[in-house]
């Protein structure tokens, strides 16, 4: 069933056919009364499983953090409850059958035997249909997630995962997934979260490093994720570097089961503070934002209606506009100095990002000047005096890793400006921010009031 594919939906139909044949054979052999007890056990187990799932010990479950979320505990609870109640039903069968037959004449016993046989066939067929439905239901979460995260070498996935992925594809082709979700053991937002995970997986598996960085900026710049994105555990997972085993797993399209047992992911998943932050994220809005670059929840008019600041989200350094600010501030630069400064800002802008949550702002990049670029002029030129200032370019930081450089709480000031305070490296400075229609002007007050211009990233 897992190798051959004759037509869309074939695996589901083959499974249903096999179960139907088995159910009819069981009904023919066991009779209606025995199967009625088994069906009753199944219904009681399905009703009890949601209550018993939380009592399932961890050693029964797959060794990854999503096992309970994907319903593995529900499956075990159902199976164990069915086993127990099924055994109880079989123990009750003989006393019930004896009591029914004890006072019946021969003709009524013959009629009962015929009815019991026919009832067995009907219940066997019905039981096989219910079994098919339950299998589709229990494999739906894993199958959906596996199809969102198609590995480079799917043959290395566990058989159960490949089977679940195949059943989901064929069930969807036959339009059966809405029926399977009637008894779905996972939260309703699991599937949206799986779609977000699929977008992350597929966008990080490209060989285009620039695309990966742009997607990373879009993901971590989503206003609802800004605080979570700078949590140390998420920073480890999202760090684009060859030593990050989780990122390299995404990049090489590692199999799902290997990603799920990654120690960094496990640590992040079990962190209560991080879980509380991510639980507040609107996953539907996040998915749409990743797909389109537009967020209905954080659109400017929505923020205005809520009385929230329009600067929420991510900003990137605008090299050309920042250069214009420095040209105005230091007009005595010559052509070579302007060119060197332009190259410096272009290098800085490649990775420098400014992000705002509702209460905190974060500066991330390879470096940011720890002193004013403008220094007392030493150049011996006709129009330059010792009282003038000219930019001195810091050494290149292209070999450094991208990291969180500074962070601080921000507040709104009268007149529409914003204020924060940063400490980074050897620097310590108040920072003021002024919003314009499509730009953000940042003034580092302790660094001679030098100004940097940020713009929304091109998504």
pLDDT tens readout for residues 206-261: 888 888 988 988 898 899 999 999 999 998 898 888 888 999 999 999 888 888 88
The sign one gets for the Cα dihedral 264, 269, 275, 278 is: positive
Say what the pLDDT of residue 447 is.
95
Same domain, 336 and 441: yes
Are residues 60 and 181 located together in one domain of the fold?
Answer: yes
- Tell me: do 177 and 239 sit in the same domain: no
Residue 218 CA to residue 291 CA, distance in Å, equals 10
Q: At what angle do helices 209-220 and 190-204 cross, to 10 degrees?
A: 150
The tokens describing 410, both together, are 């921000």
> Does residue 110 lie in a domain region?
no
String of b and e for 217-250 (b: at least 16 CB within 10 Å)?
A: bbbbbbbbbbbbbbbebbebbbbbeeebbbbebb
Check residue 451 and give its pLDDT: 97
Instruction: Give the mean model confidence (pLDDT) for residues 296-304.
Output: 89
Is 130 found in the same domain as 17?
yes
Q: Residue 380: what pLDDT?
A: 72
Residue 438 in domain: yes
The partner residues of 364 in beta bridges, in order of sequence, read 353, 404
DSSP 403: E
Report yes or no on 200 lying in a domain.
no
With respect to residue 199, please indicate whether it lies within any of the assigned structural domains.
no
Task: For residues 277 and 331, state if they share a domain.
Answer: no
Q: What is the span of the domain harbouring residue 286?
A: 207-298
Contacts of 86 (CB under 8 A, 6+ apart): 37, 38, 41
- For the ranges 8-12, 89-93, 98-102, the lowest mean pLDDT is seen at 98-102
Instruction: Confirm whether 5 is domain-assigned.
Output: no
Give domain status of residue 430, yes or no.
yes
CB 40 within 8 A of CB 84: no
For residues 332 and 284, membership in a common domain is answered with no
The number of folded domains in the chain is 3
Is 104 a residue whose pLDDT tops 80?
A: no
Q: Give pTM, 2 decimals.
A: 0.81
**Same domain, yes or no: 165 and 23:** yes
pLDDT of 2 > 50? The answer is: no
Compute the average pLDDT of residues 373-389.
81
337 with 447, same domain: the answer is: yes
What residues contact residue 47 under an 8 Å CB cut-off, 6+ apart?
Answer: none
């Amino acid at each position: 069933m897992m190798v051959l594919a004759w037509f869309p939906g074939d695996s589901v139909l083959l499974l249903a056919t096999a179960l139907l044949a088995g159910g009819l054979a069981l009904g023919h052999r066991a009779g209606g009364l025995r199967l009625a007890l088994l069906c009753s056990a199944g219904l009681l187990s399905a009703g009890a499983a949601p209550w018993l799932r939380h009592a399932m010990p961890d050693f029964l479950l797959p060794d990854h953090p999503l096992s309970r979320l994907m319903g593995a505990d529900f499956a075990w609870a159902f199976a164990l409850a069915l086993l127990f109640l099924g055994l109880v039903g079989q123990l009750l069968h003989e006393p019930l059958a004896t009591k029914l037959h004890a006072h019946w004449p021969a003709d009524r016993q013959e009629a009962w035997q015929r009815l019991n046989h026919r009832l067995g066939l009907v219940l066997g067929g019905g039981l096989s249909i219910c079994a098919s439905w339950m299998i589709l239901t229990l494999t739906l979460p894993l199958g959906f997630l596996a199809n969102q995260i198609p590995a480079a070498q799917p043959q290395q996935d566990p058989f159960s995962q490949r089977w679940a992925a195949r059943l989901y594809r064929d069930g969807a082709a036959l339009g059966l997934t809405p029926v399977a979700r009637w008894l779905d053991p996972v939260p309703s937002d699991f599937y949206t979260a799986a779609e977000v995970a699929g977008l992350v997986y597929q966008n990080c598996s490209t060989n285009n490093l620039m695309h990966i960085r742009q997607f990373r900026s879009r993901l971590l710049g989503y206003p609802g994720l800004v605080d979570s994105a700078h949590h140390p555990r998420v920073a480890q997972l999202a760090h684009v570097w060859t030593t990050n085993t989780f990122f390299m797993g995404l990049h090489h399209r590692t199999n799902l089961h290997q990603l799920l047992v990654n120690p960094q992911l496990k640590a992040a998943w079990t962190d209560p503070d991080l879980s509380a932050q991510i639980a507040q994220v609107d996953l539907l809005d996040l998915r749409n934002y990743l797909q389109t670059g537009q967020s209905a929840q954080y659109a400017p008019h929505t923020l205005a209606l809520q009385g929230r600041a329009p600067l929420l989200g991510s900003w990137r350094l605008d090299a050309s506009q920042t250069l214009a600010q420095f040209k105005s501030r230091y007009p005595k630069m010559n052509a070579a100095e302007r060119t060197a400064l332009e190259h410096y800002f272009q290098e800085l802008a490649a990775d420098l990002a400014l992000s705002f949550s509702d209460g905190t702002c974060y500066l991330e990049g390879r470096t940011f000047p720890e002193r004013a670029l403008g220094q007392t002029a030493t150049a011996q030129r006709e129009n330059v005096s010792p009282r003038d200032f000219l930019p001195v370019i810091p050494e290149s930081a292209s070999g450094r890793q991208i990291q969180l450089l500074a962070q601080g709480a921000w507040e709104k000031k009268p007149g529409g400006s914003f204020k924060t305070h940063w400490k980074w490296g050897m620097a310590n400075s108040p920072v003021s921010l002024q919003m314009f229609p499509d730009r953000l002007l940042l003034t580092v007050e302790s660094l001679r009031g030098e100004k940097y211009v940020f713009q929304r990233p091109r998504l």
